[in-house]
Amino acid sequence: MIRLEGIGKSFASARALDDVTVEFAASSVHGLLGENGAGKSTLMNVLFGLLRADTGSIVIDGKPARIASPADARAHGIGMVHQHFTLVPTLSVVDNLALAAQAGLGQVPRPAWRARLRALAEPLGWRIDPDVRCGELAVGEQQRVEIVKALAVGGRALILDEPTAVLTPSEALELFSALRGLTARGTAVVFISHKLAEVEAICDRVTILRRGRVVHAGPLAGLTRERMTELMVGAPVETVRKPPTRLAGEMVVEARALTVAGRGVEAAVGDATFMVRAGEIVGVAGVEGNGQRELVRALLGLERPRTGELMVAGAALHRGEVPDRARLGIIPDDRRHEALVLPLSVTRNLLLGEHRRKPFAIAGWLRFSRWRARAAELAGAYDVRAASLGQPVSSLSGGNQQKVVVARELHGGPRLVVAVNPTRGLDIGATAFVMSRLVQARELGAAVLLVHSDLDELLGIADRVLVMCAGRLVDSGWPVAGRDAVARLMMSVDASTHAATGEPAHG
């Protein structure tokens, strides 16, 4: 039994945790819910020793415990699997395990660690090759190694931070059954997630945080999804409603027999033929790392296709040129590195791309008064919440950062919208907002290409769904074919094959 008592933590700007008390009992899966910025990560970082709380204490099995570093946490048998994996891709599974235990390579005999790996993985029903390099594993397998790594410290508690974000639906189910195996052996599992369906499927108890305070703690039984959402957001959230599919208009994207090079010899995208018309949302489903990234790069003119034809908005693409940027809305996968300039203010980020157009610049000189007016207008229309639009965009929450991107990319009525995992890391409210804006863009006549690894969100708004697997693009037949058919297509090639397409896990 782990008990965090009266935890308080403030950062310079805000109070992240306010007198939070939670208990994680052994042999149960504990859901930790809350919007972005509610304090989930801060709380877990306190428990794992990455942050020091201002007030409060941690009690383990009735005795006060001092956790000042991850090493202390590990000494208490607490392991954590972060959203971003921390494996060394060039080292083998066994070496990664030994490295994590800070045993130092060479000091600990590899056979002992092989045995340890087997002892930890087998009860969970996993077979992991101890000598394969981690960089060669598929994402789901890497996660298994991470979990084993976290368990190797004793297995009192396992913290999972949004573990299903990178998994296929069936991989997620396998993960859940493994978690059941763990609780049967006494481990307390802390499961952080935004996906309420998963919380319902796996959790025994649920703690909900809002603005740094516990607003609910108790058994899952008797909690409806609507009630959980309401507790998290503080108000009922309306679901995104998609107006009926209309007849799609003119061709905006037309790709024929498109092949795009990957990092290795093999093509990352092979022989892809598809089109996107004005007024429709075309979804691209698939497990991450199956060529989606390369497909999008080709579409945006960042990479020259090896063979095939690609027409965007009636013009053939040339390498290194982003096609007619004024009519294109791009919501990239990694907003922090590809969409935003973090040290710059919200205002400047909102005007990025439009900065050289009148009236924002005249004869090469910037007109900041116009910038501020436009930024205020956009922030209002897209509900960007910031203390001041002059503050660096890095100081905003993930959801508000994404709203900045969405506002900038969609406000001008783009002809083509390319969105990649646009809701990654966002909470329920922000997710609904982003999805509804994509639907709105479609209603205004944009062609929308939505590449998304969350199948349910994708199916929620897509008119047609293509599935990408091992570089191949297949029409799934959605919506005539059902969700199961799409999910099956996503896994038409097994894990070992798509690990070989040259895209190691990222994120």
Partner 1 sequence: MADPGSVLPVTVPAPSAEQRGPARWRDPAVALLAVAVAVVLLLIGLAIAGYAPTDVASTWLSGALGSGVRRALSLQEAGPLLMTGLAVAIAFRAGALNIGGEGQFLLGSVAMIACGTAFRIPGPAWFATIVALTAGALAGAAWAGLAWALERWRGVPLVLSTILLNFIAVYAVSLLVHGVLQDPLTVAPQTAEIPEGMRLPVLATGSKLHLGVAFAAALAVALWLVFERTVFGFELGVVGMNPSAARLAGMPVARRRFEAMLLSGGVAGLGGAFQQAGVTYYMSDSSASYGYAGVAVALLGRLHPLGVAAAAVFFGMLDTGSRNLERVMDVPHDLGDVAKGLAVLAVLVAAAVFFRQARVEAS
Angle between helices 169-184 and 483-490 (to 10 degrees): 80
Binding of partner 1 by 366 (CB under 8 A): yes
At 484, the amino acid letter reads D
- 259 vs 395, beta carbon nearer partner 1: 395
Q: Which is nearer to partner 1, 26 or 352 (CB)?
A: 352
Please tell me whether residue 410 binds partner 1 under the rule CB under 8 A.
no
Instruction: Name the one range near partner 1 by CB under 8 A: 129-137, 215-223, 256-264, 334-342.
Output: 334-342
Residue whose tokens read 């056979």: 111
Using CA atoms, how far residue 33 sits from 134, 161, 199, 228, in Å, is 31, 11, 9, 8
Q: CB under 8 A: which stretch of 127-135, 261-269, 332-340, 464-472 binds partner 1?
A: 332-340
Query: Cβ 51 to partner 1, closest distance in Å?
Result: 9
* By the rule CB under 8 A, 344 interacts with partner 1: yes
CB of 186 to partner 1, least distance (A): 33
With CB under 8 A as the contact rule, the residue among 28, 57, 245, 394 that binds partner 1 is 394
Q: Is 322 in the site for partner 1 (CB under 8 A)?
A: yes
140 vs 373: CA distance, rounded Å: 47
52 binds partner 1 (CB under 8 A): no
Give Cα 314 to chain centroid, integer Å: 33
Among 355, 380, 387, 444, binds partner 1 (CB under 8 A): 355
Q: Looking at the chain, how many residues does it have?
A: 507
Question: Distance between CA 206 and CA 437 in Å, rounded?
Answer: 31
Using rule CB under 8 A, residue 352 touches partner 1: yes
The verdict on 259 binding partner 1 (CB under 8 A) reads: no
Answer yes or no whether residue 302 interacts with partner 1 by CB under 8 A: yes
Choose which of 77, 181, 392, 477 interacts with partner 1 (CB under 8 A): 392
Decide if residue 99 touches partner 1 (CB under 8 A).
Answer: no
Least distance (Å) from partner 1 to the CB of residue 283? 21
Q: Which CB sits closer to partner 1, 339 or 450?
A: 339
Q: Taking the complex as a whole, how short is the minimal distance between the CB of residue 173 and partner 1, in angstroms?
A: 32
Which two three-digit tokens encode residue 116? 């340890």
- Which of 151, 258, 330, 450 contacts partner 1 by CB under 8 A? 330
Nearer to partner 1, 298 or 490 (CB): 298
345 interacts with partner 1 by CB under 8 A = yes
Q: Which is nearer to partner 1, 94 or 405 (CB)?
A: 405
How many binding residues for partner 1 (CB under 8 A)?
33
Applying CB under 8 A, which part among 86-94, 114-122, 267-275, 325-333 lies near partner 1? 325-333
Among 68, 84, 320, 480, contact with partner 1 (rule: CB under 8 A): 320
The two structure tokens encoding residue 435:
């999805």
Question: Which residues, 6 or more positions from 421, have their beta carbon under 8 angstroms from its beta carbon?
Answer: 333, 451, 452, 453, 454
Give the three-state DSSP class for 114.
helix
Side-by-side strand order, sheet with 251-261: 267-277, 251-261, 307-312, 315-316
Q: How far apart are the first and last CA of the chain?
A: 31
Smallest distance from the beta carbon of 324 to partner 1, in angstroms?
9
CB nearer to partner 1: pick between 347 and 423: 347
E-assigned strand segments in 25-150:
29-34, 55-60, 63-65, 78-81
279 vs 329 by CB, closer to partner 1: 329
Alpha carbon distance 392, 388 (integer Å): 9
Closest approach of Cβ 86 to partner 1, in Å? 16
CB 497, CB 506: distance < 8 Å? no
Contact 77, 153 (CB under 8 A): yes
CA distance 267 to 290: 11
Its sign, for the CA torsion 478, 484, 490, 494, is negative
Alpha carbons 246 and 248: distance in angstroms, whole number: 6
In the complex with partner 1, the residue whose CB is nearer, 241 or 318, is 318
Q: Is 340 in the site for partner 1 (CB under 8 A)?
A: yes
Query: Which residue from 23, 8, 104, 86 is spatially nearest to 53, judged by alpha carbons?
Result: 8
Residue 380: CB partners within 8 Å, gap ≥ 6? none
Q: Closer to partner 1 by CB, 63 or 365: give it.
A: 365
- By CB under 8 A, residue 123 contacts partner 1: no
390 near partner 1 (CB under 8 A): yes
Nearer to partner 1 by C-beta: 302 or 376?
302
Q: In this chain, which stretch among 282-290, 308-316, 331-339, 420-428 interacts with partner 1, using CB under 8 A?
A: 331-339
Q: In sequence order, which ranges of 339-490 are alpha helices (DSSP H)?
A: 346-351, 368-381, 398-410, 428-443, 455-461, 483-490
Q: Residue numbers of the site for partner 1 (CB under 8 A)?
A: 11-13, 300, 302, 320, 322, 325, 330, 332, 337-345, 347-348, 352-353, 355-356, 361, 364-366, 390, 392, 394-395
